[in-house]
């Protein structure tokens, strides 16, 4: 039962975050976008 | 047997602070500086009888130098003569109005009340939270290495208030300001502090907003120019038998089995040492001085991913008369929208912004020794891109740029500038790069957003190369005179604990 709920919770959570992003003012969008595009580099940066 | 115990590449504030502590502890230390002066970005130059600061123009957190000189068994006042700045900022609007923020919090409250009576409550709240945040973010974190998640967790446990104010890490500077102040004029007056982290208000982390509070804990200027700070530390370093060689550019950090073992200079000298401390930009240190072939692939990718903050062209003017400024720092008032636009619509597109950030720094208001009698120094600092669009380059637009900045100050802010100018010198981003070897002329080094600060900024103790340590603006805690000095103190403490 719990295993079945996890994907639903993840999808709902992602949808919620996307909705929040879409409705956010331009300034916040820029702030989030600037950080999100750097996520792939964080593991390397952490160890450097 | 190595030639030296420690070699420091670059005599910036971090390198000097680190070197002085190491030398004091009996570590045989050599500093190699490519230019003819100490200080790096925090230097002063002589031009036509005037002393101009090339980079920062005041300091916050004076206590950092007190900690440094205490570690050296000395008193700051014997080496650097700090003068308190008051008012902290004066503002001039395009319709000719003036207002200022004095160091005294109650007096600044009155200024806020005049600007926007509705924001007095917000100011009180700002001061209340600001004093707590000042302790956490700017005092505690200054001397915490912040290299691993463990460091972060310990920091969080030691500073429980942090968890209550964590939201300021996850919102931007602009939103943080909106949480306190309703008036656009008040928010705009504090917006320029985002530029202290080398970012526009939309991209700067929210906690930086409290720099507007820490200003009120004291802003100082060293008598004789900003270059007096590195000179003071250099003096202490030499007294401890530390060695400095000027005009020695390091082109290679020699590694042996993933361990720093020495350096090679442009003149071909190889000098070995037990530890190497880099006081140059982290990207240059890793990618050029060590070299991609000697680094793990992940480290190369990580270094390549860092972006530089914007550049600050600095127009230095010698004036035969005062032009009506009443504070060391006068900010030509702008809007938050213009500050963001200067980055997104201009700098990122290779265009020079005409609005958004214009700081007039007049250090001769406090220190008359910087100019001939009855004369004044004025720095006009703005933001600009390193790469210009339309096939232009900084060397070809030098005169055009000088004229355009003078025009803005005269026409938009009604100051009688042109007829008072007796000396002029412009440092463009290209000049900064040539003089200081600071890539792209980015005086703040690599950007300081959440993804490239704290545990995501290049570590003070390198994670990729053993016995290599980093100090200065591209490691923890980023660009700024107190922070780069603190990085040197942190590195020295770490080296003494781990190596010697």
> Three-class SS of residue B225?
coil
pLDDT attached to residue B349: 96
| Angular region, B354: left φ>0, alpha ψ -120 to 50, beta rest | alpha
H helix count then E strand count, chain B: 18, 18
Q: Looking at the predicted structure, is the pLDDT value of residue B86 above 90?
A: yes
CB A45 to CB B306 under 8 A? yes
pLDDT, one tens digit per residue, over B169-220 is: 999 999 999 999 999 999 999 998 998 888 999 999 999 999 999 999 999 9
More confident residue, A1 or B297: B297
Q: Looking at the predicted structure, is the pLDDT value of residue A5 above 90?
A: no
Assess whether the previous peptide bond of B3 is cis (omega < 30° from 0): no
Q: Indicate the pLDDT class of residue B95, thresholds 50, 70 and 90.
A: confident
B33 to B15, B438, B483: CA distances (angstroms) = 10, 13, 20
Chain A residues with CB under 8 Å of B306 CB are 45
* Ordered DSSP codes for B163-191: HHTTHHHHSBHHHHHHTT---HHHHHHHH
User: Domain map of chain A by residue range?
Assistant: 2-47
Q: Looking at the predicted structure, is the pLDDT value of residue B364 above 80?
A: yes
Q: Which of B31-35, B218-222, B455-459, B475-479 has the lowest mean pLDDT?
A: B475-479
B337 to B62, B169, B192: CA distances (angstroms) = 32, 21, 12
Q: Closest Cα of chain A to B343: distance in Å?
A: 12
Cβ-Cβ contacts under 8 Å between A and B: the total is 68
Domains of chain B: 4-46+57-82+226-306+448-498 (3.50.50.60)
From chain B residues 430-449, the ones with a CB under 8 A of any chain A CB are 449
Question: Beta-carbon neighbour count of residue A29 at 10 Å?
Answer: 14
What is d(CA B127, CA B124) in angstroms, rounded to the nearest whole number? 5
Mean pLDDT for the stretch of residues B10-19: 98
Q: Closest Cα of chain A to B90: distance in Å?
A: 27
From chain B residues 159-178, the ones with a CB under 8 A of any chain A CB are 171-172, 174-175
pLDDT attached to residue B355: 81
Q: Give percent of chain B with pLDDT exceeding 90.
A: 87
What is d(CA B274, CA B263) in angstroms, rounded to the nearest whole number? 11
What is d(CA B362, CA B366) in angstroms, rounded to the nearest whole number? 8
What is d(CA B159, CA B163) in angstroms, rounded to the nearest whole number? 8
pLDDT attached to residue B284: 97
CB A39 to CB B451 under 8 A? yes
Nearest CB to A42 within list B171, B172, B451: B451
């Amino acid at each position: 039962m719990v295993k079945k709920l996890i994907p639903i919770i993840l999808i709902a959570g992602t949808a919620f975050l996307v909705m929040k992003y879409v409705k956010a003012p331009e300034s916040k969008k820029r702030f989030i976008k600037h950080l999100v595009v750097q996520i792939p580099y964080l593991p390397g940066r952490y160890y450097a | 047997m190595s030639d030296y115990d420690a070699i420091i590449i670059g005599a910036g504030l971090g390198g000097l602070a680190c070197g002085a502590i190491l030398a004091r502890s009996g570590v045989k230390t050599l500093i190699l500086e490519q230019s003819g002066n100490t200080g790096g970005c925090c230097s002063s130059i002589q031009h036509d009888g005037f002393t101009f600061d090339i980079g920062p123009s005041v300091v916050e957190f004076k206590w950092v130098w007190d900690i440094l000189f205490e570690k050296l068994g000395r008193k700051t006042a014997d080496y650097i003569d700090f003068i308190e700045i008051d008012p902290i900022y004066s503002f001039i609007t395009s319709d000719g109005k003036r207002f200022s923020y004095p160091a005294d919090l109650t007096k600044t409250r009155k200024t806020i009340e005049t600007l926007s009576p509705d924001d007095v409550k917000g100011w009180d709240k700002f001061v209340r939270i600001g004093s707590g945040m000042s302790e956490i973010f700017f005092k505690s974190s200054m001397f915490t290495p912040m290299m691993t998640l463990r460091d972060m967790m310990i920091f969080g446990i030691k500073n429980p208030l942090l968890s209550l104010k964590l939201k300021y890490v996850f919102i931007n500077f602009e939103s943080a300001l909106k949480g306190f102040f309703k008036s656009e004029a008040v928010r705009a007056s504090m917006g320029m502090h985002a530029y202290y982290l080398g970012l526009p208000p939309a991209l700067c982390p929210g906690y930086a907003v409290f720099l507007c509070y820490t200003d009120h804990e004291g802003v100082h200027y060293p008598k004789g120019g900003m270059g007096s700070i590195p000179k003071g530390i250099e003096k202490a370093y030499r007294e401890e038998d530390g060695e400095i060689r000027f005009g020695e550019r390091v082109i290679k950090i020699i590694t042996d089995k993933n361990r720093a073992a020495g350096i090679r200079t442009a003149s071909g000298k190889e000098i070995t040492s037990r530890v190497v401390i880099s006081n140059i930009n982290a990207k240059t240190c890793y990618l050029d001085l060590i070299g991609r072939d000697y680094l793990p692939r992940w480290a190369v990718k990580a270094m390549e991913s860092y972006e530089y903050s914007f550049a600050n062209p600095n127009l230095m003017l010698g004036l035969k008369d005062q032009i009506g400024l009443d504070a060391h720092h006068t900010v030509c008032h702008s809007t938050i929208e213009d500050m963001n636009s200067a980055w997104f619509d201009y700098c990122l597109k290779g265009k020079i912004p005409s609005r958004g950030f214009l700081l007039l720094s007049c250090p001769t208001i406090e220190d008359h020794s910087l100019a001939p009698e009855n004369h004044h120094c004025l720095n006009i600092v703005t933001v600009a891109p390193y790469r210009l669009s339309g096939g232009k380059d900084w060397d070809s637009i030098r005169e055009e740029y000088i004229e355009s900045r003078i025009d803005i100050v005269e026409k938009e802010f009604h100051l009688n500038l042109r007829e008072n100018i007796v000396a002029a010198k412009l440092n463009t981003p290209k000049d900064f790069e040539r003089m200081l070897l600071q890539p792209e002329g980015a005086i703040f080094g690599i950007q300081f957003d959440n993804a490239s600060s704290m545990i995501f900024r290049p570590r003070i103790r390198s994670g990729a190369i053993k016995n290599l340590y980093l100090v200065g603006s591209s490691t923890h805690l980023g660009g700024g005179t107190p922070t780069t000095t603190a990085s040197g103190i942190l590195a020295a403490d770490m080296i003494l604990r781990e190596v010697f």
